[in-house]
């Protein structure tokens, strides 16, 4: 496993995801992707589902990718990367590739292409036991196509398909717990990550590359455009998410052993996280305050569940 030491040393690693892309100022996608692809020195084959990352990093004739990269449909990033991994193994077994030159297989997808449209491909590739890592860039909506809700959109959020108004407080359903769902596939390694905790993210990516079998990392990716916050506040927004335990950081090994990898020294109220985003501004108006209380209760109960599970060693 590649050793992750100081931020300066890691920042000076030759970039495999170059600048010059068209992602929005402050978009967390590029931060996450750069840390993930730089977490190994081995050759990498990457498949990327249609979405913000693909659209903004590969505008013909330019590309930000300094690795073998495949653009695939919205729904099948996991299918294509698992097929590439199977082909690689077959060619090595036939002696058509050098056995002493390892390659890693990596897929990126947004939450729309992971939680929803691409879940069947991800579930199938994981169930078959392919040796690959899938990273979900979770910005909690279909941001590339107009900011529609997905099953990753949290309750109360305003989106173009779950709008706030006189008779609605926005999204009605709680966010799907995809990380836990993937752990129940028996994946040898599953984790959550956030761009503000760079060392935690880099270590998890390196561990994922070093793990044999399907790996899933769910990375929170704050979206300045649809979450409605200043582009300069991306890292602050990530910190608010993890320090309020709205997006807790943990890892699960072999589907059972859960370890919390970041514990806030001072756990902040959920309202501090919600209040920093325009998509939740209506919750602070008279008549919607109850939903903030529900948010706090939901987050506290889940944090308690994670701690009890860790203490129990399962």
Structure tokens at 201: 């993210």
Residue-averaged pLDDT of the chain: 95
Q: What is the CATH number of the domain that holds 181?
A: 3.40.50.970
User: Which pTM does this prediction carry?
Assistant: 0.95
Q: Quick one: which of 32, 74, 38, 47 has its CA closest to 219?
A: 32
Q: Quick one: which of 3, 56, 37 has its CA closest to 105?
A: 37
What pLDDT is stored for residue 2 in this prediction?
77
Question: 298 pLDDT exceeds 80?
Answer: yes
**Neighbour tally for 287: CB within 10 Å:** 10
Q: What mean pLDDT is predicted for residues 148-172? A: 96
Question: 9 pLDDT exceeds 80?
Answer: no
170 lies in a domain?
A: yes
Question: 32 pLDDT exceeds 90?
Answer: yes
Grade residue 281 by pLDDT with cuts at 50, 70 and 90. Answer: very high
15 lies in a domain?
A: yes
Question: 300 pLDDT exceeds 90?
Answer: yes
- CB within 8 Å of 230: residues ≥ 6 apart: 26, 224
Question: 107 pLDDT exceeds 90?
Answer: yes
Domain that holds residue 261: 7-312
Question: 13 pLDDT exceeds 90?
Answer: no
34 lies in a domain?
A: yes
What pLDDT is stored for residue 98 in this prediction?
85
> Directed axis angle between helix 77-93 and helix 119-128, to 10°?
30
What pLDDT is stored for residue 242 in this prediction?
98
292 lies in a domain?
A: yes
Grade residue 15 by pLDDT with cuts at 50, 70 and 90. Answer: confident
pLDDT, tens digit, 9 for 90 and up, residues 47-81: 999 999 999 999 889 999 999 999 999 999 999 99
Q: Quick one: which of 235, 244, 268, 249 has its CA closest to 306?
A: 249
1 lies in a domain?
A: no
pLDDT, tens digit, 9 for 90 and up, residues 250-274: 999 998 999 999 999 999 999 999 9
Instruction: State percent of the chain over pLDDT 70.
Output: 100
How many domains does the chain contain in total? 1
Q: Quick one: which of 214, 154, 206, 152 has its CA closest to 184?
A: 214
Structure tokens at 7: 């931020």
Length of the chain: 314
289 lies in a domain?
A: yes
């Amino acid at each position: 496993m590649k050793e992750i030491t100081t931020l300066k040393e890691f920042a000076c690693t030759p970039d495999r995801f170059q600048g010059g892309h068209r992602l929005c100022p402050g978009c967390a996608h590029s931060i996450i992707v750069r840390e993930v692809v730089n977490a190994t020195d081995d050759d990498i084959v990457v498949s990327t589902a249609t979405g913000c990352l693909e659209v903004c990093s590969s505008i013909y004739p330019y590309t930000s990718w300094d690795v073998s990269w495949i653009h695939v449909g919205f729904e099948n990033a996991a299918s294509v990367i698992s097929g590439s991994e199977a082909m690689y193994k077959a060619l090595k077994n036939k002696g058509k590739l050098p056995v002493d030159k390892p390659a890693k297989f990596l897929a990126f997808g947004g939450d729309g292409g992971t939680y929803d449209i691409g879940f069947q491909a991800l579930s199938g590739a994981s169930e078959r036991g392919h040796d690959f890592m899938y990273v979900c860039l979770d910005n909690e909506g279909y941001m590339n196509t107009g900011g529609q809700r997905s099953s990753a959109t949290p309750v109360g959020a305003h989106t173009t398909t779950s709008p706030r108004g006189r008779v609605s407080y926005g999204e009605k359903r709680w966010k799907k717990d995809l990380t836990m769902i993937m752990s129940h596939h028996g994946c040898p390694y599953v984790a959550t990550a956030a761009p503000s905790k760079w060392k935690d993210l880099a270590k998890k990516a390196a561990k994922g590359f070093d793990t044999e079998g399907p790996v899933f990392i769910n990375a929170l990716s704050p979206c300045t455009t649809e979450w409605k916050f200043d582009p300069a506040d991306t890292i602050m927004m990530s910190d608010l998410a993890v320090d309020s335990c709205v997006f807790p950081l943990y890892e699960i090994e072999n589907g059972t052993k859960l370890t919390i990898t970041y514990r806030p020294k001072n756990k902040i109220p959920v309202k501090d996280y919600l209040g920093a985003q325009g998509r939740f501004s209506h919750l602070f108006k008279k008549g919607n305050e109850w939903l903030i209380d529900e948010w706090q209760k939901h987050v506290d109960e889940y944090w308690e569940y994670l701690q009890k599970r860790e203490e129990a060693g399962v």
